[in-house]
Protein backbone atom coordinates (compact mmCIF):
# COMPACT_ATOMS: atom_id res chain seq x y z
CA UNK A 1 0.00 0.00 0.00
CA UNK A 2 1.33 3.44 -0.94
CA UNK A 3 1.81 5.78 2.01
CA UNK A 4 1.50 9.56 1.93
CA UNK A 5 1.49 12.23 4.65
CA UNK A 6 -1.83 14.04 4.66
CA UNK A 7 -1.22 17.78 5.00
CA UNK A 8 -4.51 19.23 6.26
CA UNK A 9 -3.82 22.97 6.15
CA UNK A 10 -6.35 25.29 7.83
CA UNK A 11 -9.63 25.62 5.95
CA UNK A 12 -10.29 21.92 5.26
CA UNK A 13 -10.03 20.69 8.89
CA UNK A 14 -11.30 23.90 10.50
CA UNK A 15 -14.20 24.87 8.17
CA UNK A 16 -14.89 22.07 5.65
CA UNK A 17 -14.02 18.80 7.43
CA UNK A 18 -16.08 16.96 4.80
CA UNK A 19 -13.12 17.44 2.46
CA UNK A 20 -10.82 15.78 5.02
CA UNK A 21 -13.23 12.86 5.54
CA UNK A 22 -13.85 12.41 1.81
CA UNK A 23 -10.13 12.41 1.02
CA UNK A 24 -9.45 9.70 3.59
CA UNK A 25 -12.34 7.51 2.41
CA UNK A 26 -11.64 7.78 -1.31
CA UNK A 27 -7.87 7.32 -1.16
CA UNK A 28 -8.31 4.30 1.10
CA UNK A 29 -10.47 2.72 -1.64
CA UNK A 30 -7.67 3.44 -4.11
CA UNK A 31 -5.06 1.70 -1.94
CA UNK A 32 -3.37 4.82 -0.56
CA UNK A 33 -2.71 5.00 3.17
CA UNK A 34 -2.78 8.55 4.52
CA UNK A 35 -0.78 9.28 7.67
CA UNK A 36 -1.30 12.34 9.90
CA UNK A 37 1.51 14.89 10.14
CA UNK A 38 1.27 15.39 13.89
CA UNK A 39 1.67 19.04 14.84
CA UNK A 40 1.59 20.44 11.30
CA UNK A 41 0.68 24.13 11.07
CA UNK A 42 -0.64 26.58 8.53
CA UNK A 43 1.26 26.00 5.26
CA UNK A 44 1.72 29.18 5.77
CA UNK A 45 -0.86 31.09 3.78
CA UNK A 46 1.00 32.53 0.78
CA UNK A 47 -1.15 35.70 0.59
CA UNK A 48 0.05 37.13 3.86
CA UNK A 49 3.28 35.25 4.62
CA UNK A 50 4.93 35.25 1.21
CA UNK A 51 3.94 38.91 0.85
CA UNK A 52 5.19 39.92 4.28
CA UNK A 53 8.42 38.05 4.79
CA UNK A 54 9.93 35.38 2.57
CA UNK A 55 12.20 33.98 5.30
CA UNK A 56 9.21 33.42 7.62
CA UNK A 57 7.24 31.87 4.78
CA UNK A 58 10.13 29.49 4.02
CA UNK A 59 10.76 28.66 7.68
CA UNK A 60 7.17 27.64 8.43
CA UNK A 61 6.71 25.82 5.12
CA UNK A 62 9.99 23.94 5.56
CA UNK A 63 9.00 22.85 9.07
CA UNK A 64 5.87 21.21 7.63
CA UNK A 65 7.93 19.59 4.88
CA UNK A 66 10.57 18.32 7.31
CA UNK A 67 7.92 16.74 9.58
CA UNK A 68 6.95 14.62 6.59
CA UNK A 69 10.57 14.00 5.57
CA UNK A 70 11.01 12.42 9.00
CA UNK A 71 8.05 10.13 8.27
CA UNK A 72 9.69 9.14 4.98
CA UNK A 73 6.61 10.12 2.97
CA UNK A 74 5.75 12.50 0.18
CA UNK A 75 3.13 15.07 1.21
CA UNK A 76 -0.42 15.07 -0.12
CA UNK A 77 -2.34 18.37 -0.06
CA UNK A 78 -6.00 18.92 -0.93
CA UNK A 79 -5.62 22.70 -1.22
CA UNK A 80 -4.19 24.90 -3.98
CA UNK A 81 -2.91 27.42 -1.43
CA UNK A 82 -1.07 24.81 0.64
CA UNK A 83 0.22 23.24 -2.58
CA UNK A 84 1.43 26.65 -3.74
CA UNK A 85 3.32 27.33 -0.52
CA UNK A 86 4.74 23.86 0.01
CA UNK A 87 5.65 22.93 -3.57
CA UNK A 88 7.24 26.33 -4.22
CA UNK A 89 9.12 26.39 -0.89
CA UNK A 90 10.30 22.80 -1.44
CA UNK A 91 11.50 23.70 -4.94
CA UNK A 92 13.29 26.86 -3.78
CA UNK A 93 15.05 25.08 -0.91
CA UNK A 94 16.08 22.13 -3.08
CA UNK A 95 17.66 24.46 -5.65
CA UNK A 96 19.02 27.39 -3.63
CA UNK A 97 21.84 26.32 -1.29
CA UNK A 98 22.13 29.79 0.25
CA UNK A 99 18.45 29.94 1.26
CA UNK A 100 18.59 26.31 2.35
CA UNK A 101 21.43 27.09 4.75
CA UNK A 102 19.62 30.17 6.01
CA UNK A 103 16.45 28.17 6.68
CA UNK A 104 18.36 25.30 8.30
CA UNK A 105 20.03 27.74 10.67
CA UNK A 106 16.54 28.71 11.85
CA UNK A 107 15.18 25.14 11.90
CA UNK A 108 18.19 24.04 13.97
CA UNK A 109 16.65 25.89 16.92
CA UNK A 110 13.75 23.42 16.93
CA UNK A 111 16.07 20.50 16.12
CA UNK A 112 14.95 20.01 12.53
CA UNK A 113 16.82 20.02 9.25
CA UNK A 114 15.55 20.39 5.70
CA UNK A 115 17.12 17.72 3.53
CA UNK A 116 15.11 17.90 0.32
CA UNK A 117 14.18 14.25 0.20
CA UNK A 118 10.48 14.35 -0.55
CA UNK A 119 7.98 15.73 -3.03
CA UNK A 120 4.80 17.70 -2.43
CA UNK A 121 1.72 16.46 -4.27
CA UNK A 122 -1.75 17.84 -4.87
CA UNK A 123 -4.60 15.32 -4.79
CA UNK A 124 -5.74 16.22 -8.33
CA UNK A 125 -2.39 15.79 -10.08
CA UNK A 126 -1.59 12.79 -7.85
CA UNK A 127 -4.80 11.01 -8.83
CA UNK A 128 -4.25 11.84 -12.48
CA UNK A 129 -0.58 10.91 -12.72
CA UNK A 130 -0.03 8.18 -10.12
CA UNK A 131 -3.42 6.48 -9.77
CA UNK A 132 -4.69 7.04 -13.29
CA UNK A 133 -8.09 7.45 -14.90
CA UNK A 134 -8.60 3.73 -15.54
CA UNK A 135 -8.07 2.70 -11.92
CA UNK A 136 -10.39 5.47 -10.76
CA UNK A 137 -13.06 4.31 -13.23
CA UNK A 138 -12.80 0.77 -11.93
CA UNK A 139 -13.48 2.03 -8.38
CA UNK A 140 -16.75 3.74 -9.38
CA UNK A 141 -19.87 2.02 -8.02
CA UNK A 142 -22.51 4.67 -8.75
CA UNK A 143 -21.75 6.61 -11.95
CA UNK A 144 -22.98 10.18 -11.50
CA UNK A 145 -25.47 11.79 -13.82
CA UNK A 146 -24.40 15.35 -13.11
CA UNK A 147 -23.47 18.44 -15.08
CA UNK A 148 -20.39 19.90 -13.41
CA UNK A 149 -18.61 23.26 -13.60
CA UNK A 150 -14.95 22.40 -12.98
CA UNK A 151 -12.96 25.08 -11.17
CA UNK A 152 -9.19 24.44 -11.33
CA UNK A 153 -8.23 27.46 -9.27
CA UNK A 154 -4.85 29.09 -9.80
CA UNK A 155 -2.09 27.53 -7.74
CA UNK A 156 -2.78 23.95 -8.79
CA UNK A 157 -1.40 24.83 -12.22
CA UNK A 158 0.44 28.14 -11.82
CA UNK A 159 3.24 29.13 -11.78
CA UNK A 160 3.85 26.36 -14.32
CA UNK A 161 7.65 26.38 -13.88
CA UNK A 162 7.52 24.14 -10.80
CA UNK A 163 4.38 22.15 -11.58
CA UNK A 164 5.08 20.14 -14.78
CA UNK A 165 1.37 19.92 -15.56
CA UNK A 166 1.39 21.36 -19.04
CA UNK A 167 -0.14 24.60 -20.26
CA UNK A 168 -2.12 26.72 -17.84
CA UNK A 169 -4.19 28.20 -20.67
CA UNK A 170 -6.33 25.18 -21.44
CA UNK A 171 -5.79 22.32 -19.00
CA UNK A 172 -7.85 19.11 -19.31
CA UNK A 173 -6.63 16.71 -16.62
CA UNK A 174 -9.08 17.80 -13.92
CA UNK A 175 -12.00 17.57 -16.39
CA UNK A 176 -10.91 14.00 -17.20
CA UNK A 177 -10.95 13.12 -13.50
CA UNK A 178 -14.45 14.57 -13.12
CA UNK A 179 -15.69 12.67 -16.16
CA UNK A 180 -14.21 9.43 -14.78
CA UNK A 181 -17.05 9.57 -12.19
CA UNK A 182 -19.67 9.56 -14.96
CA UNK A 183 -20.36 13.29 -14.55
CA UNK A 184 -20.10 15.67 -17.47
CA UNK A 185 -17.77 18.66 -17.36
CA UNK A 186 -19.66 21.62 -18.81
CA UNK A 187 -17.70 24.39 -20.48
CA UNK A 188 -18.43 27.91 -19.26
CA UNK A 189 -17.22 31.43 -19.99
CA UNK A 190 -13.84 32.35 -18.50
CA UNK A 191 -13.53 28.88 -17.00
CA UNK A 192 -9.95 29.37 -15.84
CA UNK A 193 -10.66 32.67 -14.11
CA UNK A 194 -9.47 33.13 -10.54
CA UNK A 195 -12.06 32.92 -7.72
CA UNK A 196 -10.69 36.17 -6.28
CA UNK A 197 -9.78 34.88 -2.82
CA UNK A 198 -5.99 34.57 -3.03
CA UNK A 199 -3.08 36.89 -2.41
CA UNK A 200 -4.75 38.32 0.68
CA UNK A 201 -7.49 39.91 -1.47
CA UNK A 202 -10.42 38.18 0.27
CA UNK A 203 -8.94 39.16 3.61
CA UNK A 204 -8.30 42.83 2.86
CA UNK A 205 -10.52 43.90 -0.05
CA UNK A 206 -13.51 41.58 0.32
CA UNK A 207 -16.03 43.51 -1.78
CA UNK A 208 -13.71 43.59 -4.78
CA UNK A 209 -12.71 39.95 -4.29
CA UNK A 210 -16.41 39.06 -4.33
CA UNK A 211 -16.89 40.78 -7.68
CA UNK A 212 -14.54 38.19 -9.21
CA UNK A 213 -16.41 35.22 -7.77
CA UNK A 214 -19.78 36.79 -8.56
CA UNK A 215 -18.76 36.90 -12.20
CA UNK A 216 -17.58 33.32 -12.03
CA UNK A 217 -20.82 32.08 -10.40
CA UNK A 218 -22.89 33.90 -13.01
CA UNK A 219 -21.03 32.16 -15.84
CA UNK A 220 -21.45 28.81 -14.10
CA UNK A 221 -25.18 29.34 -13.62
CA UNK A 222 -25.61 30.49 -17.24
CA UNK A 223 -24.08 27.18 -18.35
CA UNK A 224 -26.82 25.31 -16.47
CA UNK A 225 -24.67 23.18 -14.18
CA UNK A 226 -25.91 21.03 -11.27
CA UNK A 227 -22.90 21.83 -9.08
CA UNK A 228 -19.34 23.16 -8.96
CA UNK A 229 -16.34 20.91 -8.35
CA UNK A 230 -13.13 22.49 -7.08
CA UNK A 231 -9.69 21.43 -5.86
CA UNK A 232 -9.11 23.88 -3.03
CA UNK A 233 -10.83 24.62 0.30
CA UNK A 234 -10.08 28.35 -0.04
CA UNK A 235 -11.72 28.56 -3.49
CA UNK A 236 -14.45 26.37 -1.94
CA UNK A 237 -15.02 28.90 0.85
CA UNK A 238 -15.00 31.81 -1.58
CA UNK A 239 -17.51 30.03 -3.85
CA UNK A 240 -19.73 28.80 -0.98
CA UNK A 241 -19.64 31.47 1.76
CA UNK A 242 -19.09 34.03 -1.02
CA UNK A 243 -22.64 33.29 -2.28
CA UNK A 244 -24.13 34.32 1.06
CA UNK A 245 -22.02 37.50 1.10
CA UNK A 246 -22.94 38.33 -2.52
CA UNK A 247 -26.62 37.91 -1.67
CA UNK A 248 -26.32 40.40 1.20
CA UNK A 249 -24.04 42.91 -0.53
CA UNK A 250 -25.16 42.81 -4.17
CA UNK A 251 -28.53 41.03 -4.07
CA UNK A 252 -27.54 38.28 -6.51
CA UNK A 253 -28.57 34.75 -5.57
CA UNK A 254 -27.24 31.55 -7.13
CA UNK A 255 -27.94 28.59 -4.82
CA UNK A 256 -25.17 26.51 -6.40
CA UNK A 257 -23.85 23.58 -4.40
CA UNK A 258 -20.03 23.49 -4.17
CA UNK A 259 -18.10 20.18 -3.95
CA UNK A 260 -14.42 19.37 -3.60
CA UNK A 261 -13.28 16.66 -6.03
CA UNK A 262 -12.76 14.22 -3.13
CA UNK A 263 -16.48 14.59 -2.35
CA UNK A 264 -17.57 14.04 -5.95
CA UNK A 265 -15.37 10.95 -6.17
CA UNK A 266 -16.76 9.73 -2.83
CA UNK A 267 -20.32 9.96 -4.14
CA UNK A 268 -19.39 7.94 -7.22
CA UNK A 269 -17.70 5.34 -5.01
CA UNK A 270 -21.02 4.89 -3.19
CA UNK A 271 -20.53 6.93 -0.01
CA UNK A 272 -23.55 8.94 1.15
CA UNK A 273 -23.56 12.77 0.91
CA UNK A 274 -23.64 12.89 4.73
CA UNK A 275 -20.55 10.68 5.09
CA UNK A 276 -18.74 13.16 2.83
CA UNK A 277 -20.02 16.32 4.54
CA UNK A 278 -21.72 17.55 1.36
CA UNK A 279 -24.70 18.55 3.53
CA UNK A 280 -22.47 20.78 5.68
CA UNK A 281 -22.00 23.59 3.14
CA UNK A 282 -23.22 27.10 3.89
CA UNK A 283 -25.20 27.23 0.64
CA UNK A 284 -27.27 24.11 0.04
CA UNK A 285 -29.33 23.31 -3.00
CA UNK A 286 -32.20 20.99 -2.08
CA UNK A 287 -32.78 19.91 -5.69
CA UNK A 288 -29.13 18.92 -5.97
CA UNK A 289 -29.23 17.11 -2.61
CA UNK A 290 -32.27 15.10 -3.79
CA UNK A 291 -30.49 14.29 -7.03
CA UNK A 292 -27.52 12.77 -5.19
CA UNK A 293 -29.76 10.93 -2.71
CA UNK A 294 -29.04 13.07 0.32
CA UNK A 295 -31.30 14.22 3.12
CA UNK A 296 -31.68 17.95 3.08
CA UNK A 297 -32.96 19.93 6.02
CA UNK A 298 -33.67 23.58 5.30
CA UNK B 1 -4.18 64.58 -15.74
CA UNK B 2 -1.75 63.01 -13.36
CA UNK B 3 1.25 64.91 -12.12
CA UNK B 4 4.47 64.87 -14.09
CA UNK B 5 7.00 62.43 -12.72
CA UNK B 6 10.25 64.04 -11.60
CA UNK B 7 13.50 62.11 -11.89
CA UNK B 8 14.40 63.47 -8.45
CA UNK B 9 11.59 61.25 -7.11
CA UNK B 10 13.36 58.13 -8.31
CA UNK B 11 15.11 55.91 -5.82
CA UNK B 12 17.28 53.44 -7.66
CA UNK B 13 18.19 51.54 -4.49
CA UNK B 14 14.49 50.62 -4.30
CA UNK B 15 14.63 49.21 -7.84
CA UNK B 16 17.78 47.33 -6.97
CA UNK B 17 16.17 45.83 -3.90
CA UNK B 18 13.18 44.61 -5.92
CA UNK B 19 15.51 43.15 -8.54
CA UNK B 20 17.02 40.90 -5.85
CA UNK B 21 13.93 38.72 -6.34
CA UNK B 22 14.77 36.24 -9.14
CA UNK B 23 12.99 37.25 -12.36
CA UNK B 24 12.02 40.69 -11.08
CA UNK B 25 15.05 42.22 -12.80
CA UNK B 26 13.41 41.36 -16.12
CA UNK B 27 11.04 44.30 -15.54
CA UNK B 28 13.80 46.28 -17.26
CA UNK B 29 13.03 44.30 -20.44
CA UNK B 30 9.32 45.21 -20.48
CA UNK B 31 8.30 46.71 -23.83
CA UNK B 32 4.77 47.62 -22.72
CA UNK B 33 2.83 45.05 -24.72
CA UNK B 34 0.10 45.17 -21.99
CA UNK B 35 -0.45 41.42 -22.12
CA UNK B 36 -0.30 41.38 -18.32
CA UNK B 37 -3.03 43.95 -17.69
CA UNK B 38 -5.33 42.93 -20.53
CA UNK B 39 -5.77 39.43 -19.11
CA UNK B 40 -5.82 40.42 -15.44
CA UNK B 41 -9.01 39.25 -13.69
CA UNK B 42 -8.66 41.91 -11.00
CA UNK B 43 -8.24 44.73 -13.55
CA UNK B 44 -11.49 43.58 -15.16
CA UNK B 45 -13.33 44.53 -11.96
CA UNK B 46 -11.07 47.21 -10.48
CA UNK B 47 -9.84 49.52 -13.20
CA UNK B 48 -7.39 51.28 -10.90
CA UNK B 49 -5.42 48.07 -10.41
CA UNK B 50 -2.72 47.98 -13.07
CA UNK B 51 0.15 45.52 -12.65
CA UNK B 52 2.03 46.95 -15.64
CA UNK B 53 1.96 50.43 -14.14
CA UNK B 54 3.10 49.07 -10.77
CA UNK B 55 6.06 47.29 -12.32
CA UNK B 56 6.98 50.29 -14.50
CA UNK B 57 6.96 52.43 -11.36
CA UNK B 58 9.19 49.84 -9.69
CA UNK B 59 11.61 50.04 -12.60
CA UNK B 60 11.79 53.81 -12.27
CA UNK B 61 12.29 53.62 -8.52
CA UNK B 62 9.11 55.42 -7.46
CA UNK B 63 9.35 54.11 -3.93
CA UNK B 64 7.17 56.52 -1.98
CA UNK B 65 4.28 56.40 -4.45
CA UNK B 66 4.36 52.62 -4.77
CA UNK B 67 4.65 51.67 -1.12
CA UNK B 68 1.66 53.89 -0.33
CA UNK B 69 -0.38 52.75 -3.33
CA UNK B 70 -3.40 50.83 -1.95
CA UNK B 71 -3.60 48.80 -5.17
CA UNK B 72 -0.40 46.82 -4.50
CA UNK B 73 -2.69 44.80 -2.18
CA UNK B 74 -5.28 43.92 -4.85
CA UNK B 75 -3.36 41.18 -6.70
CA UNK B 76 -4.89 37.74 -6.05
CA UNK B 77 -1.62 36.08 -7.16
CA UNK B 78 -3.37 34.15 -9.93
CA UNK B 79 -0.10 34.26 -11.94
CA UNK B 80 -1.89 34.66 -15.27
CA UNK B 81 0.20 37.73 -16.17
CA UNK B 82 3.43 36.04 -15.14
CA UNK B 83 2.63 33.03 -17.32
CA UNK B 84 1.80 35.21 -20.31
CA UNK B 85 4.66 37.72 -20.20
CA UNK B 86 6.69 37.36 -23.42
CA UNK B 87 9.75 38.80 -21.67
CA UNK B 88 9.64 36.36 -18.77
CA UNK B 89 9.05 39.01 -16.14
CA UNK B 90 8.15 37.32 -12.84
CA UNK B 91 5.38 39.84 -12.22
CA UNK B 92 3.83 38.27 -9.14
CA UNK B 93 7.13 37.51 -7.44
CA UNK B 94 8.17 41.13 -8.07
CA UNK B 95 4.89 42.44 -6.64
CA UNK B 96 5.29 40.28 -3.54
CA UNK B 97 8.76 41.76 -3.09
CA UNK B 98 7.27 45.27 -3.27
CA UNK B 99 4.74 44.25 -0.60
CA UNK B 100 7.55 42.88 1.56
CA UNK B 101 9.41 46.18 1.36
CA UNK B 102 6.18 48.01 2.28
CA UNK B 103 5.56 45.76 5.29
CA UNK B 104 9.11 46.18 6.53
CA UNK B 105 8.63 49.95 6.21
CA UNK B 106 5.64 49.67 8.54
CA UNK B 107 2.96 49.76 5.84
CA UNK B 108 0.43 46.93 6.02
CA UNK B 109 -3.33 46.56 5.94
CA UNK B 110 -5.16 45.89 9.20
CA UNK B 111 -6.86 42.65 8.11
CA UNK B 112 -3.51 41.19 6.95
CA UNK B 113 -1.91 42.12 10.27
CA UNK B 114 -4.78 40.27 12.01
CA UNK B 115 -4.20 37.09 9.99
CA UNK B 116 -0.52 37.25 10.94
CA UNK B 117 -1.46 37.61 14.60
CA UNK B 118 -3.89 34.68 14.39
CA UNK B 119 -1.10 32.45 13.07
CA UNK B 120 1.23 33.63 15.85
CA UNK B 121 -1.45 32.69 18.39
CA UNK B 122 -2.87 29.46 16.96
CA UNK B 123 -0.45 28.24 14.28
CA UNK B 124 -3.39 28.29 11.86
CA UNK B 125 -4.59 31.21 9.73
CA UNK B 126 -8.13 29.85 10.11
CA UNK B 127 -8.42 28.19 13.54
CA UNK B 128 -11.08 25.69 14.62
CA UNK B 129 -14.44 26.90 15.94
CA UNK B 130 -17.35 25.25 17.78
CA UNK B 131 -19.49 24.93 14.66
CA UNK B 132 -16.77 22.95 12.87
CA UNK B 133 -16.15 20.76 15.92
CA UNK B 134 -19.77 19.59 15.65
CA UNK B 135 -19.36 18.99 11.93
CA UNK B 136 -16.15 16.98 12.51
CA UNK B 137 -17.86 14.80 15.10
CA UNK B 138 -20.75 14.05 12.73
CA UNK B 139 -18.22 12.86 10.16
CA UNK B 140 -16.53 10.54 12.64
CA UNK B 141 -13.40 12.70 12.82
CA UNK B 142 -11.73 13.81 16.06
CA UNK B 143 -13.20 17.12 17.22
CA UNK B 144 -9.77 18.72 16.96
CA UNK B 145 -7.53 17.96 13.95
CA UNK B 146 -4.09 16.34 14.52
CA UNK B 147 -2.29 19.61 13.79
CA UNK B 148 -0.81 22.26 16.09
CA UNK B 149 -4.35 22.41 17.49
CA UNK B 150 -3.81 18.99 19.10
CA UNK B 151 -0.03 18.96 19.62
CA UNK B 152 1.09 21.75 21.93
CA UNK B 153 4.79 21.15 21.30
CA UNK B 154 4.17 21.75 17.61
CA UNK B 155 2.59 25.10 18.38
CA UNK B 156 5.53 25.96 20.63
CA UNK B 157 7.94 25.23 17.78
CA UNK B 158 5.91 27.32 15.33
CA UNK B 159 5.92 30.24 17.76
CA UNK B 160 9.64 29.86 18.26
CA UNK B 161 10.22 30.05 14.50
CA UNK B 162 8.01 33.14 14.22
CA UNK B 163 10.02 34.76 16.99
CA UNK B 164 13.36 33.85 15.41
CA UNK B 165 12.39 35.42 12.08
CA UNK B 166 10.93 38.47 13.84
CA UNK B 167 7.48 37.85 12.38
CA UNK B 168 5.74 38.16 15.76
CA UNK B 169 7.10 41.71 16.14
CA UNK B 170 6.40 42.53 12.50
CA UNK B 171 2.66 41.92 12.93
CA UNK B 172 2.38 43.11 16.55
CA UNK B 173 -0.09 45.92 17.15
CA UNK B 174 1.36 49.36 16.51
CA UNK B 175 1.91 51.34 19.66
CA UNK B 176 -0.98 53.69 20.26
CA UNK B 177 0.12 57.24 19.72
> What is the ipTM score, two decimals?
0.95
Closest by Cβ to B112, choosing from A63, A196, A203: A203
Which residues does chain B have with pLDDT short of 70?
Answer: 1-2, 174-177
Residue B140 CB-half CA count within 13 A: 7
Write down the domain spans for chain B. Answer: 7-104, 110-170
CATH architecture of the domain B7-104 equals Orthogonal Bundle (1.10)
Per-residue pLDDT, A174: 98
Summarize chain A as % helix, strand, coil (round to 5): 50, 10, 40
- Interchain CB contact of A242 with B (< 8 Å): no
**CB A203: neighbour CB atoms within 10 A?**
21
Task: Give the per-residue pLDDT at B177.
Answer: 39
Write the CATH number of the domain with boundaries A2-123: 1.20.1050.140
Q: What is the pLDDT of residue B2?
A: 66
Across the interface, of A14, A196, A200, the residue whose CB is closest to B112 is: A200
Give the gap in angstroms from C-alpha B77 to the nearest C-alpha of chain A: 5
Q: Which residues of chain A have pLDDT under 50?
A: 297-298
Residues 6+ apart with CB under 8 A from B99: A51, A52, B72, B73
pLDDT of B1 reads: 54
**What are the b/e assignments for A41-71, b being 16+ CB within 10 Å?**
bbbbbbbbbbbbbbbbbbbbbbbbbbbbbeb
Q: List pLDDT tens digits, range A111-123.
A: 999 999 999 999 9
Say if CB A165 and CB A172 are below 8 A apart. no
B112/A51 touch (CB, cutoff 8 Å), yes or no = yes
The pLDDT value given to residue A298: 44
pLDDT at A295: 61
In words, the CATH class of domain A142-291 is alpha beta
Q: Give A168-204 pLDDT, tens digit per residue.
A: 889 999 999 999 999 999 999 999 999 999 999 999 9
Q: Which residues of chain B neighbour A211 with C-beta distances below 8 Å?
A: 45-46
- Chain B contact for A265 (CB, 8 A cutoff): no
- Nearby residues of A250 by Cβ (< 8 Å), 6 or more positions away: A210, A214
* A203/B contact by beta carbon, under 8 A: yes
pLDDT score at A164: 84
Whether the CB-CB separation of A52 and A97 falls below 8 Å is answered with no
Interface test with A, best of B158, B166, B170, B172 (most A CBs within 10 A): B158
Q: Where in chain A is the domain with CATH 3.40.50.11810?
A: 142-291
CA B154 to chain centre: 26
Report which secondary-structure segment, H or E, holds A32.
Answer: strand A32-36
Amino acid sequence: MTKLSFFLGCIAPNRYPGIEAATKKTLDKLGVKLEDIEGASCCPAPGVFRSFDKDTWLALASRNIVLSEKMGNDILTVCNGCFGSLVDANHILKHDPVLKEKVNNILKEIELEFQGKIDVRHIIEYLYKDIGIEKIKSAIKKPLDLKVAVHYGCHLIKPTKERHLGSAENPRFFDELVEATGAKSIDYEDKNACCGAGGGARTAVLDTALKLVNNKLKHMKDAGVDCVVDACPFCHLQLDVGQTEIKTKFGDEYGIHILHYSQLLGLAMGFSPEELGIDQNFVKNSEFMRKIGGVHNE
Amino acid sequence: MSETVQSSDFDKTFTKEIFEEPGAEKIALCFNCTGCTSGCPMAEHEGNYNIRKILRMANLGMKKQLLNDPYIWYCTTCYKCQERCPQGVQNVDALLKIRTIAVHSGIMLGPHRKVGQVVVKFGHAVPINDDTKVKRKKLGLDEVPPTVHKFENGLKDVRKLLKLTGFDKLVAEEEKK
